[in-house]
């Protein structure tokens, strides 16, 4: 059985879904990475610990 698709090509239905709905997996991953970065910045307790150990 011969096929024309390779491992790197997406099936035609996938391309149609991308056009119709956008690249949801990529958008979701990017949003998750952004939220993770923002959360790390907000919950960075290192500066608080440094302030407590500084002499006045």
pLDDT digits (tens, 9 = 90+) for 9-47: 878 888 888 888 899 989 999 999 999 999 998 988 777
Read off the DSSP letter of residue 11. P
pLDDT at residue 15, rounded to an integer: 87
Calculate ∠ Cα 13-31-36, nearest 5°: 140
**The pTM is what?**
0.52
Measured distance CA(25)–CA(29) in Å, rounded: 6
The answer on pLDDT for 52 being more than 90 is no
* Neighbouring C-alpha atoms within 13 Å toward the C-beta of 2: 1
- pLDDT at res. 3: 55
Tokens 């690249």 — which residue?
23
Return the pLDDT at 29.
97
pLDDT at 2 over 60: no
Are 30 and 22 in contact by the 8 Å Cβ rule? The answer is no
pLDDT value at residue 9: 80
């Amino acid at each position: 059985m011969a096929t024309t698709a390779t491992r790197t090509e997406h099936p035609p239905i996938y391309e149609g879904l991308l056009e119709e709905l956008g690249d949801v997996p990529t958008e979701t991953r990017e949003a998750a990475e952004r939220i993770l970065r923002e959360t790390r910045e907000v919950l960075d307790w290192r500066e608080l610990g440094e302030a407590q150990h500084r002499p006045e």
